[in-house]
Chain A
């Protein structure tokens, strides 16, 4: 039930914002990012379901989500750059369209952190779906440097307002959301040609620092999950006291674990900040991600 409490706090916060500004009544959605997607029957928000995960890690992986939800969803297709380089567009189009047949939807969303090398192919793929109502995820740097990174040929973008810090820097304070870092990227929104909605974080994770270097990340870890084998050393940092497995991951003695979490107040501040920069009316706020 913990997630429900968090949702309630956030929704109340947004409602508060809405009442202060009568024009602000965004729809609320949640990303469902696991292969086994279980959407509660009485789910009140819009489910954005990752229906396909196309990646290339040693081999091509096309992972389909098992989801039997009778109502409308927003299907999301995630593609990584390695896969985009390897796979033919026809192959990809066929895989996506065959998956889409399984769902009821009004719009679809693509998620790809395209690079200069994959941009042309990715944008071409998006054009294959121009008869659909297509949205694409947009990273902050893709707005700031949009002349260099390009603007995807879609009707709308959804700005991912998380994972904005430097993951590999051991001094990063909070990899998920750091408003001081975010402010550096809030540039060129007045010139950005796409309408934007926003995606905000609703998750936690642990970053592992070893011999002064960031060596890994474990998702789904909260500070209160940590037991006596983790010694609190400063704000959100802990030292591992003995080598052991924790939530399926191996932690080594003397590893430093930084737990990144996002309190509701920070979400509220983020929305205020984004409202100041995004020129269109924000119609949808989608939280990454739903977890039980």
Chain B
């Protein structure tokens, strides 16, 4: 909060109020994650075990993950049975390629599949709702299934028919069909997994929640290709059903599995289920997985609420009065475990680093180094890049997360307006931060020097690599020319501009040496004419060496018009944000306005023409109002309602004095033209 205010608003927004809520699904895609899946024996690539937000894309990504596995297993099976190359099978089955098929059964099955796809998929490739599907497909599938086939194809037709029954809600027919397939059981096939999942769903639709949940638990724990169905569709509705399900368990591990799956359902409490699990058994695969999920959540709560969030609101807009309450309950439960695993001990050390700032002591050197590094970065108050680089280079486990955590911390510690601060913010994967908007002559020079530096430390390498910031020579010269224009070094600006290809030169929309009645000096449409950057610089250089009233007036107009408030701001800045006045532009913009004021005053002191005096005073009033807007602490925005303008005028004695000075020229033609200016209403 003590530095570049708006940059920080931008950054903290990413963590606090869901500004970009569309773009993240799984926490570890963007954040640091210090929960080692390896210690919990969990597959960290499996999206079912990643802490996530309840969004459609999470489900879609999980389905896509298993669709890939399903496809691979399916192709393996087809290519083995048909003795065809996997690629050929894929082209035929998945890409509908019209290749020559010698096997008669396969040809017949493909013919059925064509009808099947046609019935269910619309021309855009979406699955249709049942109201649009012709029910004749049921009869067709039934006929195909009833024909004599080899066991392999019989099972495939059976699955397709069961799926059609399921789609139309014909659960009795579906279950009858599935139960009749026992004689095909000897055949080892991935299709059994799909049939079993269909059966679990049909039982649920029939109201048999106990057997359905039992089967879905099996789907989750044993299936390779559609595990996610067990995860999502496990449902119990009453205490009686739950008790029956527990009674059905063949061993304690099955009970643990039921608790885990129940805890994973949306709205349920995995921590509470985990506490129940510990009453059954202290160590098990399911306990490790539950712990892994809970630890990710505790970590998220800590970093999001404690370190980053404002007003205790998280990504999903969740409030919490006691952000650490969940974490405390989790730690308490972990501590209460009688038989602690290595994973438990690691988690406790990690949680104590986060919540109690304890120095960690873990037996494994690599993990202990990591914990110590987290402790070090967490407590970092000032930056010593060499020391951080040295420590970071020793991290052997969860290194990517260590890097992300480091960069995040550095983005809060680098001094304001520094290149490294910008690079650190740009390294954040959630950030759309555009460095160019903040670059100054100083930071451009620092950037060139950093790129050319031979002995870069690890942090510098990470900042350059992670931020992906790159600017080519032409653009850099253009930006230099703009920034030197803003600082009044017109010859230097021109020197740089001459190195820029002409098609990259900037143009103003109006003549920057003209002024009109409105604050921005936007002329009427017929005056709208592109004004070249080069011509502006040449004119400013020319008038700077002269000392007539008109030269001073033109110089002042030029300065005003290249300011944020004038008609040609793009001739002196890289980027202009119209919705908000960002804090970093205040200093350079005040400089331009003060230059304009200086030369207007010079011109005013020299002229004896009342018409001209009225015009200059009016321009000085515009400068005074623009300065008020820039420095107003309440409004970081460029457009003001009338009431707000009055407020600014009220607090601006300079503007008021100029207004009363202007009254001395009431009889001029110029005054008559501007007398209805909106701001003047304040004085009525």
Question: Whose C-beta in chain B lies nearest to the C-beta of A210?
Answer: B269
Among A60, A245, A252, point to the contact of B129 (Cβ < 8 A): A60
Distance to closest chain A CB from B266 (angstroms): 8
Q: How many residues from B make CB contacts under 8 Å with A?
A: 32
Docked-complex contact A211 and B326, CB < 8 angstroms: yes
0/1 string, A205-239, CB within 8 A of B gives 1 = 00010111111100000000000000000000000
Which of A62, A88, A170 contacts B319, CB < 8 Å? A170
User: Which residues on A sit within 8 Å (CB–CB) of B60?
Assistant: 58
Q: Known interface pairs A60-B126, A62-B131, A216-B267. Does A211 touch B320 (Cβ–Cβ under 8 Å)? A: yes
Interface string of A149-180 (1 = CB under 8 A from B): 00000000000000000101111000000000
Residues of B within 8 A of A252 (CB): 268-269, 272
Q: Is residue A272 within 8 Å, beta carbon to beta carbon, of the partner chain?
A: no
Residue picked from A58, A60, A171, A255, most chain B C-beta under 10 Å: A58
> Shortest CB–CB separation between residue A117 and chain B, in angstroms?
9
Q: Which residues from B are CB-within-8-Å of A211?
A: 320, 322, 325-326, 329
A95 vs B128: C-alpha distance when bound (angstroms): 11
Closest to B314 in A: A213
Say whether B321 faces chain A, with CB atoms less than 8 Å apart. yes
Q: Would B242 and A95 count as touching, CB distance under 8 A?
A: no
- Could you say which residues of chain B place their CB within 8 Å of the CB of A88? 124
Q: Is there an interface contact between A243 and B129, defined as CB atoms closer than 8 Å?
A: no
B122 proximity list for chain A (CB < 8 A)? 91
Q: Are A169 and B131 in contact (CB under 8 A)?
A: no
Most chain A beta-carbon neighbours within 10 Å: one of B60, B126, B129, B329: B129
Provide the residues of chain A in CB contact with B239, threshold 8 Å. 244-245
Check if B323 sits within 8 Å of A57, measured CB to CB. no
Q: For window 317-334 of chain B, which residues contact chain A by CB distance below 8 Å?
A: 317-323, 325-326, 329
* A56 interface contact, C-beta 8 A: yes
- Min CB distance B270 to A, Å, is 10
Are B272 and A243 neighbours in the complex by a CB distance under 8 Å? Answer: yes
Interface size on A, residues (CB 8 A): 35
Contact A245 B237, CB 8 Å, known A213-B319, A215-B267 = yes
Contact assessment for B238 and A245 in the assembled complex, using a CB-CB cutoff below 8 Å? yes
Q: Is B379 an interface residue (CB 8 A)?
A: no
CB within 8 Å of A: which of B38-61?
56, 59-60
Instruction: Judge if A64 is at the interface, Cβ distance under 8 Å.
Output: yes
B262 contacts the other chain (Cβ, under 8 Å)? yes
From B322, which residue of chain A is reached at the shortest CB distance?
A212
Q: Which residue of B lies closest to A56 (CB)?
A: B56
List which B189-243 residues lie within 8 A (CB) of chain A: 232, 236-239, 242
| B325 close to A212 (CB less than 8 A) | yes
The complex places the Cα of A60 from the Cα of B126 at a distance, in Å, of: 10
Given the interface pairs A211-B326, A212-B322, A213-B318, the reply to whether A253 lies near B272 with Cβ below 8 Å is yes
A250 within 8 A of B: yes
Q: Which residues of B contact A56 (CB under 8 A)?
A: 56
**Contact present for B321 and A212 (CB under 8 Å):** yes
Report the separation of the CA atoms of residues A243 and B268 in the bound assembly, to the nearest whole angstrom. Answer: 11
Interface string of B102-145 (1 = CB under 8 A from A): 00000000000000000000101011010100000000000000
Contact status B59-A213, CB under 8 Å:
no
B242 in complex: contacting residue of A59, A212, A245, CB < 8 Å? A245
Asked if A171 contacts B129 (CB within 8 A), the reply is no
B272 & A208 in contact (Cβ 8 Å cutoff): no
Report the bound CA distance from A128 to B320 in whole Å.
44
A69 interface contact, C-beta 8 A: no
A170 to B56, CA, bound (A): 25
Residues of A within 8 A of B317 (CB): 168
In angstroms, how far is the closest chain A Cβ from the Cβ of B197?
Answer: 15
Contacts of A210 in B (CB 8 A): 269
B268-A250 in contact (CB<8A): yes
The reply to whether A250 and B262 contact each other, CB–CB distance below 8 Å, is yes
Q: How far is the CA of A271 from the CA of B317 in the complex (A)?
A: 31
Report the Cα distance A125→B590, complex, angstroms: 50
Docked Cα-Cα span, A183 to B236, in Å, equals 42
Q: Judging by beta carbons under 8 Å apart, are B321 and A171 in contact? A: yes
Q: Chain A: which residue is nearest B271 at the CB level?
A: A211
Q: Shortest Cβ distance from B218 into chain A, in angstroms?
A: 21
A248 adjacent to chain B (CB < 8 Å): yes
Residue of B nearest to A57 (CB): B56
Chain A residues 26 to 44 lying within 8 A of chain B, measured CB to CB, are none
- Whether B319 contacts A168 by the Cβ 8 Å rule is yes
In angstroms, how far is the closest chain A Cβ from the Cβ of B318?
5
Against B, the Cβ 8 Å flags (1 = close, 0 = not) of A178-209 are 00000000000000000000000000000010
Q: How many Å lie between the Cα of A249 and that of B239 in the bound state? A: 10
Q: Which listed residue, A61, A170, A255, touches B320 by the CB 8 Å rule?
A: A170
Q: Is the CB of A64 within 8 A of B131?
A: yes
Instruction: Please indicate the chain B residues that have their CB under 8 angstroms from the CB of A62 in the complex.
Output: 129, 131
Nearest A residue to B54, CB-CB: A57
Interface residue A123 (Cβ < 8 Å from any Cβ of B): no
Interface centre among A56, A60, A98, A243 (most CB of B within 10 A): A243
Please, how many angstroms separate the alpha-carbon atoms of A234 and B126 in the complex? 51
Indicate if the CB atoms of B321 and A170 lie closer than 8 Å.
yes
In the complex, which residues of chain A have a beta carbon less than 8 angstroms from the beta carbon of B272?
Answer: 243, 252-253
A98 and chain B: residue at smallest CB distance: B131
Which residues does chain B contribute within 8 Å of A169, judged by CB atoms? 319
Bound-state Cα–Cα, A214 to B325, Å? 13
B318 / chain A contacts, CB cutoff of 8 Å? 168, 213-214
* Contact residues in A for B320 (Cβ distance below 8 Å): 170, 211-213
Closest B residue by C-beta to A242: B239
* Distance of A61 Cα from B128 Cα, bound (Å): 10
Chain B contacts with A in 326-350, Cβ cutoff 8 A: 326, 329
Residue of A62, A212, A214, A255 with most chain B CB atoms under a 10 A cut-off: A212
The yes or no answer to A82 lying at the interface (CB within 8 A) is: yes
Least CB distance, B53 to chain A, in whole angstroms: 13
- A60 and B56 CA atoms in complex are apart in Å by 11
Please name the residue on chain A nearest to B272 by beta carbon.
A252
- Chain A residues near B262 (CB, 8 Å)? 250
How far, in angstroms, from A22 to B242 measured CA to CA in the complex?
58
Determine if B56 and A82 form an interchain contact, defined as CB atoms under 8 angstroms apart: yes
Q: Is B56 a contact partner of A212 (Cβ separation < 8 A)?
A: no
For B63, the closest partner residue in chain A by CB is: A58
CA A91 – CA B237 in complex, angstroms?
35
User: Chain A residue with minimal CB distance to B313?
Assistant: A168
CA distance A59 to B126 in the complex (A): 11
- CA A214 – CA B317 in complex, angstroms? 10
* Residues of chain A in range 58-85 having any CB-CB distance to chain B below 8 Å: 58-62, 64, 82
Closest CB in chain B relative to A213 CB, distance in Å: 5
Q: Find chain A residues with CB under 8 A from B127 CB.
A: 59-60
Residue of A nearest to B312 (CB): A212
Contacts of B242 in A (CB 8 A): 245
Cβ–Cβ < 8 Å partners of A57 in chain B: 56
Contacts of A64 in B (CB 8 A): 131
Residue among A82, A88, A98, A252 with max Cβ neighbours from chain B (10 Å): A252
When chains A and B are docked, how far (Å) is the Cα of A79 from the Cα of B280? Answer: 45
A169 to B321, CA, bound (A): 9
Inter-chain CA distance A80–B126, complex, in Å, is 18
Among A64, A166, A169, A213: residue with most chain B CB under 10 A: A213
**Residue contacts A-B, CB under 8 angstroms, 25 given:** A58-B59, A60-B129, A61-B129, A95-B131, A170-B319, A170-B320, A170-B321, A171-B319, A171-B321, A208-B267, A211-B325, A212-B320, A212-B325, A213-B318, A213-B320, A214-B319, A245-B237, A245-B238, A245-B242, A248-B237, A249-B267, A250-B236, A250-B267, A252-B268, A255-B269
Chain A contacts to B: CB under 8 angstroms = 56-62, 64, 82, 88, 91, 95, 98, 166, 168-171, 208, 210-216, 243-245, 248-250, 252-253, 255
Given contacts A245-B236, A252-B269, 7 further A-B contacts (CB under 8 A): A58-B60, A95-B129, A170-B320, A211-B329, A213-B318, A213-B320, A252-B272
Residue positions of B touching A, CB distance < 8 A: 56, 59-60, 122, 124, 126-127, 129, 131, 232, 236-239, 242, 262, 267-269, 272, 276, 316-323, 325-326, 329
Q: 5 nearest interchain CB pairs?
A: A212-B322, A216-B267, A211-B326, A212-B321, A211-B325
